[in-house]
Structure 1
Amino acid sequence: MLGAIGLDERQESTYRALVAIGAADVADLAHRLALPEPETERALRKLERHGLAAQSSSRTGRWVAAPPGVALGALLTQQRHELERAELAAALLAEEYRAEATEPAVHDLVEMVTGAAAVSHRFLQLQLGAGQEVCALVTGRPVAVTGGDNEAEAQATDRGVTYRVVIERDVLSEPAGIGELVAALGRDEQVRVAERLPTKLVIADRALAMVPLTGPSAEPAALVIHASGLLESLLSLFEAVWRESRPLRLDGRGAAAEGELPGPDGTDLEILSLLLAGMTDASVAKQLDLGLRTVQRRVKGLMELSGVTTRLQLGWHAYERGWVARELRK
Structure 2
Amino acid sequence: MLGALGLSPEDEAVYGVLAGRAEANSAELADALHLPVPVVEAALSHLLACGLVKSTPDGEFTAAPPAVALGALISERRAALRSAELALVELAEEHRKATAGRTISELIEVVTGVEAVRHRFAQVQHAARTEVRSFVTAPVVVVPIGSNSAESQLVAQGVRYRVVIERAVLAEPGAVDEAIESLRKGVEVRVVESLPIKLMLADTELGLVPLTVAPGDEPGAVLLHRAGLLTAMDALFEIVWRYAHPLNVSTFGELTAEETHGGDADAPTGLDRRILALLLAGLTDHAVAAQLDLSLRTLQRRLRHLMDLAGVDTRMQLGWHAARHDWA
Report the TM-score, using the length of structure 2 for normalisation. 0.71
Decide which of 64, 77, 80 is 2:78's aligned counterpart. 80
CA–CA distance in structure 2, aligned partners of residues 98 and 237 of structure 1: 23
Give identity over the alignment, percent: 45
Change (3 A) 1:242 1:99: closer
Q: Supply the AA of the counterpart residue of 2:178.
A: E
CA–CA distance in structure 1, aligned partners of residues 204 and 99 of structure 2: 18
Q: Which residue of 2 aligns with 1:90?
A: 88
Deviation at 1:241, TM superposition (A): 2.2
Q: Which residue of 1 aligns with 2:14?
A: 14
Deviation at 1:64, TM superposition (A): 1.5
Q: Supply the AA of the counterpart residue of 1:28.
A: E
Q: Which residue of 2 aligns with 1:253?
A: 254
Q: Does 1:41 align with 2:41?
A: yes
SS at match of 1:209: strand
Q: Which residue of 1 aligns with 2:226?
A: 227
Deviation at 1:222, TM superposition (A): 0.7
Q: Supply the AA of the counterpart residue of 1:113.
A: V
Equivalent positions of 1:60-79 (< 5 A) are: 60=59, 62-79=60-77
**Alpha carbon RMSD of aligned pairs, Å?**
2.2
CA–CA distance in structure 1, aligned partners of residues 22 and 116 of structure 2: 48
Q: Which residue of 1 aligns with 2:286?
A: none
CA–CA distance in structure 2, aligned partners of residues 214 and 49 of structure 1: 54
SS at match of 2:248: strand
CA–CA distance in structure 1, aligned partners of residues 16 and 164 of structure 2: 46
CA–CA distance in structure 2, aligned partners of residues 131 and 87 of structure 1: 11
Change (3 A) 1:33 1:141: farther
Deviation at 1:238, TM superposition (A): 1.7
Q: Which residue of 2 aligns with 1:104?
A: 102
Deviation at 1:245, TM superposition (A): 2.2
Deviation at 1:217, TM superposition (A): 2.2
Q: Does 1:131 align with 2:146?
A: no
Q: Which residue of 1 aligns with 2:29?
A: 29
SS at match of 1:54: strand
Equivalent positions of 1:219-298 (< 5 A) are: 219-250=218-249, 251-253=252-254, 257-258=277-278, 259=280
Deviation at 1:243, TM superposition (A): 2.8
Deviation at 1:42, TM superposition (A): 2.5
Q: Does 1:218 align with 2:203?
A: no
Decide which of 200, 203, 212 is 1:202's aligned counterpart. 200
Q: Supply the AA of the counterpart residue of 2:161.
A: Y
CA–CA distance in structure 2, aligned partners of residues 91 and 242 of structure 1: 30
The farther-off stretch of 113-122 and 37-46 is 37-46
Deviation at 1:193, TM superposition (A): 1.6
Does the CA-based 8 Å contact 2:99-2:107 persist in structure 1? Answer: no
Deviation at 1:92, TM superposition (A): 2.8
In the alignment, structure 2 segments of 5+ residues that lack a partner are: 256-270, 282-328
Deviation at 1:87, TM superposition (A): 2.9
Q: Supply the AA of the counterpart residue of 2:228.
A: G
Q: Supply the AA of the counterpart residue of 1:6.
A: G
CA–CA distance in structure 1, aligned partners of residues 100 and 234 of structure 2: 22
CA–CA distance in structure 2, aligned partners of residues 203 and 95 of structure 1: 19
Deviation at 1:147, TM superposition (A): 4.2
Change (3 A) 1:111 1:77: same
In the alignment, structure 1 segments of 5+ residues that lack a partner are: 261-330
Deviation at 1:18, TM superposition (A): 0.6
Does the CA-based 8 Å contact 2:47-2:53 persist in structure 1? Answer: yes
Change (3 A) 1:193 1:8: same
CA–CA distance in structure 2, aligned partners of residues 161 and 84 of structure 1: 18
CA–CA distance in structure 2, aligned partners of residues 210 and 174 of structure 1: 23
Decide which of 160, 168, 179 is 2:177's aligned counterpart. 179
CA–CA distance in structure 2, aligned partners of residues 66 and 151 of structure 1: 36
Q: Which residue of 2 aligns with 1:154?
A: 152
Decide which of 162, 170, 175 is 1:164's aligned counterpart. 162
Q: Which residue of 1 aligns with 2:143?
A: 145
Q: Supply the AA of the counterpart residue of 1:193.
A: V
Deviation at 1:212, TM superposition (A): 0.5
CA–CA distance in structure 2, aligned partners of residues 225 and 32 of structure 1: 55
The Cα offsets for residues 139-183 of structure 1, whole Å up to 9 and x where unpaired, read as 123332234332210111112222111112222222232232111
Q: Which residue of 2 aligns with 1:311?
A: none
Report the TM-score, using the length of structure 1 for normalisation. 0.71
SS at match of 2:24: strand
Aligned length: 258
Change (3 A) 1:233 1:92: closer
Q: Supply the AA of the counterpart residue of 1:21.
A: R
Q: Which residue of 2 aligns with 1:52?
A: 52
CA–CA distance in structure 2, aligned partners of residues 252 and 106 of structure 1: 49
The Cα offsets for residues 274-293 of structure 1, whole Å up to 9 and x where unpaired, read as xxxxxxxxxxxxxxxxxxxx
Deviation at 1:205, TM superposition (A): 1.0
SS at match of 1:124: helix
The Cα offsets for residues 201-232 of structure 1, whole Å up to 9 and x where unpaired, read as 11111332110114352212111112222112
Change (3 A) 1:93 1:207: closer
CA–CA distance in structure 1, aligned partners of residues 96 and 71 of structure 2: 37
